[in-house]
Chains A and B, each alone.
Chain A
């Protein structure tokens, strides 16, 4: 374990890792087919899967151009494994028996290695993204002391089947691509993969149909157990070094080479489970079957136990929580595997669960694997290992069966799930380790809400756009996404926080001068240059005024760049009004129209605005629907009604902008919680052009 002291904003030493964006291949058996061949991959950025390309792309060839294959006797192979174990090349993790099944576990001797296994219970992923991992430790008795935990232990994974090699390449793409994950990176760099050809086919696997039963890159060595001898394909310089240092090999005989070839060639015919539809058709099938009866039917049988996601080699969602030791000083921020089948996966502090219906959660997993991730990354996020099907007690988790069913009975009702093409330069390093910041000012707004003025201790000015958010950390309690409520360009920033969850409740008890952690800014924010020159109609409900205020301030600071400015604000009751002073100040300006309303006003309560829902402010309003950009931000229930009023005023869809709330746990498009169909709200949102999300089933 290497510990990096994070203080004064200096954290996470920078280590460059090049991700090549050139041409792609998704480990197909013919090794050449690109995802474009289907002609249906719309948004796909097709790229070489592995960030480990430099190391892994070097399969050695012989003079004739064929792949060079070495060989050794079985005895020599066992000696080789034993030497790896004894001669300190790192922890040797191999496939071992666990009762009637198999698992990856540290090897004590070569005899324990079972290359004849069919499939392991959990994938080797658990050594790259552990089930539980301390991301950092901290001491809350100090003002701000955080230590990043980076595991740089060397490991050799022995016996990895081709489908799992490909799954690791997918993980590399997710964790080493944009917003590189330091913790994963350190493990991955120190992991050597010795792959193994499949000898026994798992009952529920359909790798033969996906072409994931063989692999040509992504390993350091690839071994093929031929009975009396073992053939070895060298996949990297590191693999070659291991082989040269710890074994005596000879070039494989022609017979052995033929044997290897035959084994691989015959493998697909040995699979009992076969896809009846090409994997390049999954996207189309899913686009056309969002309302297929199978989702409802199968979800009735679903236990919601999450097993299908937990055993999956390509699932990568996680949750993070702080765990305090009983001495109340030291604590850990722990990352654990999470799964989209579990009810609270999309739950936000306010209690809303955005994918509450079991059918929606059941369907989401298939859409993520077969449509959303392919659109985003260019590969089907399923390698056909069959673990989900093996573990699912009601037997409804098998992608092979689902795709075959959809293919035989397709609804042909096409729904589009576009991912807005949004690029916002953001934080790229030290993503998970918060930097210290100090509470400079606290201003109570209502019983529930307080405005905080914050300054990063490093003195750096937070560069953000209105509408972006930061992750606020209180060590020992956790982290919460909070949108920035002040306009950019100052040394400090403001957060409006409602006391509603763990973090915000704790924050409420903190005093001026105390330290919090911040990460970010994250998200896209409002396109301020895109709306310049237009009339702006702000429509905010409740806490929605917080991100809107950032933009209002920006617009007022650059008043000459905008036309008419109208601000509509609604909340429950006079006591719940936020930014009362600001509303008053804005309404005193003669070039800003402010209208405010409360849902209800008790008798004798002091209130100088309207009474009624925010929607009632829209009909009497006089504005040019073509010239006006409407910025709508409020609680989830508000959008439908406000937008319907705007439509009555003939506001075109492209003139409506919304900001949506979801559970933005990581902020960097990894943890999966904020996903809305194919969109990551933390990356492509939270601000959306209405046109981009209006047909998105999970948006409103």
Chain B
């Protein structure tokens, strides 16, 4: 029997689900090997009976937490989809400020008091609320990687993310190191799997796939200093997708 698959979104731009739709002709293969039962961006039907849940977005509110826990309960396998779900991503940046400060900044005088939709807590990644079986990181996800993970799950091979940095793929693409071009790059500490797409197009890596398990942060900072990156700049860049209080 084909595994039943459902897609869910929380705080996100839904760009990762769009990447799935962007599989184009491959999507026919996808629906050949799995049965998609819920996918709000692509179909109107939905069902609570599924084996694999793909969850996009970060978790912001008590109501999100409840919903996510229900999904976890229903799903045999839960896959976090994209930077927001895997590491909190850009949404996490707001954790620099208190919830009240953020609300004031965004909604100012608007009347949101008592409205559940605005009842938020500091941003969480999916695995801070429920167990996550597999991750497909990136902003947005790499659809080749998505296809690979689905194929792996379907034939019973545990999908494993690369444990090496973006530099490996960047070198294989024979790029000129973007440091040489005077740009900032988080490639040396960021998990590969994107085929070094940003450096290949001449931009520095912004770390959207999250850091490696054992990132060489001190060595990377030494390099950034050597290339004249200021502390402020470093702070901004490190925080963009991987916010941590006092990141550096």
Instruction: Say whether A associates with B.
Output: yes
Q: Which A residues are in CB contact (< 8 Å) with B154?
A: 328
Nearest B residue (CB) for A327 = B29
User: How far apart are B21's CB and chain A's nearest CB, in angstroms?
Assistant: 14
**Contact B158–A502 (Cβ < 8 Å):** yes
Q: Which of A100, A302, A391, A506 contacts B171 (CB 8 A)?
A: A391
Tell me, rounded to whole Å, the shortest Cβ–Cβ distance linking B35 to chain A. 14
The answer on a CB contact under 8 Å between A324 and B152 is yes
Q: B129 on the interface (CB 8 Å rule)?
A: no
Among the listed stretches B50-58, B72-80, B216-224, which one makes contact with chain A, having 4 or more residues with CB under 8 Å of it?
B216-224
- What per-residue 1/0 map shows which CB atoms of B21-39 lie under 8 Å from chain A? 0010010011011000000
Q: Which of B134-173 contact A (CB under 8 A)?
A: 147-148, 150-152, 154-158, 163-165, 167-168, 171-172
User: Once the chains bind, are B168 and A325 in contact (CB under 8 Å)?
Assistant: no
Write the chain B residue with the least CB distance to A356: B214
Q: How far is the CA of A478 from the CA of B148 in the complex (A)?
A: 14
Asked whether, in the complex, the Cβ of A476 is within 8 Å of the Cβ of B167, the reply is no
Whether A307 pairs with B176 at a CB distance below 8 angstroms is: no
Number of residue pairs across A and B with beta carbons under 8 Å?
112
**Does B113 lie at the interface of the complex (its beta carbon under 8 Å from any beta carbon of A)?**
no
Residues of B within 8 A of A509 (CB): 156
Cα separation A122 to B147 with both chains bound (whole Å): 30
Q: Is the CB of B220 within 8 A of A476?
A: no
Asked if residues A342 and B172 are in contact (CB atoms below 8 Å), the reply is no
Q: In whole angstroms, what is the CA distance A324 to B30 when docked?
A: 12
Alpha-carbon distance between A104 and B33 when the two chains are bound, in angstroms: 41
Contact A305 B163 (CB under 8 A): no
Q: Which A residues are CB-close (under 8 A) to B219? A: 300-303, 394
A132→B29 contact, CB < 8 A: no
- From B33, B155, B168, B176, A339 is in contact (CB under 8 Å) with B168
Number of chain A interface residues as a range: 35 or more
User: A391 and B158: CB pair below 8 A?
Assistant: no
Contact with B along A489-509 (1 / 0, CB 8 A): 000000000000010011001
Evaluate contact between A326 and B157: CB separation under 8 angstroms: no
Q: Does A99 contact B (CB under 8 A)?
A: yes
Q: Which residue of A lies closest to B227 (CB)?
A: A393
Q: Is the CB of A506 within 8 A of B157?
A: yes
A325 & B29 in contact (Cβ 8 Å cutoff): yes
* B45: interface (CB < 8 Å): no
In the complex, A655 has a CB within 8 A of chain B: no
- Is there a chain A Cβ closer than 8 Å to B229's Cβ? no
Task: Provide the residues of chain B in CB contact with A303, threshold 8 Å.
Answer: 165, 167, 188-189, 216, 219-220, 223
Q: With an 8 A cutoff between CB atoms, is A101 at the interface?
A: yes
Contact A131 B172 (CB under 8 A): yes
A122's nearest neighbour on chain B, judged by CB, is: B174
Residues of A within 8 A of B187 (CB): 305
Q: Are A302 and B216 in contact (CB under 8 A)?
A: yes
**In-complex Cβ contact of B223 among A304, A326, A393 (8 A):** A393
* Contacting pair B172 A310 (CB below 8 A): yes
Contacts of A393 in B (CB 8 A): 177, 179, 188, 223, 226
B180 within 8 A of A: yes
For A475, give the chain B residue with the smallest CB separation: B155
- Which chain B residues border A301 with CB–CB below 8 Å? 219, 222
| Contacts A393-B223, A477-B157; A326 near B168 (Cβ below 8 A) | no
Contact B222 A326 (CB under 8 A): no
Contact string, A172-190, partner B, CB cutoff 8 A, digits 1/0? 0000000000000000000
- In whole angstroms, what is the CA distance A307 to B168 when docked? 6
**B167 near A325: Cβ-Cβ < 8 Å:** no
Query: A303-B219, A328-B33, A502-B157 are contacts. A100–B176 as well, Cβ < 8 Å?
Result: yes
Pair B29/A342 contact, Cβ less than 8 Å = no
Q: Which of A303, A326, A327, A342 has the most CB of B within 10 A?
A: A326
Residues in B with CB closer than 8 Å to A344 are: 163-164
Bound-complex Cα distance A592 to B216 (A): 54
B190 to chain A, nearest CB (A): 10
Cα(A53)–Cα(B188), bound, Å: 41
Q: B171–A311 contact, CB under 8 A?
A: yes
Query: What is the CB-to-nearest-CB distance from B188 to chain A, in angstroms, rounded to a whole number?
Result: 4
Shortest Cβ-Cβ A-B pairs, 7 listed: A305-B167, A326-B29, A310-B171, A131-B172, A324-B151, A303-B188, A327-B29
A-B contact pairs, 6 of them (CB 8 A): A100-B176, A305-B167, A327-B33, A328-B33, A393-B179, A505-B158
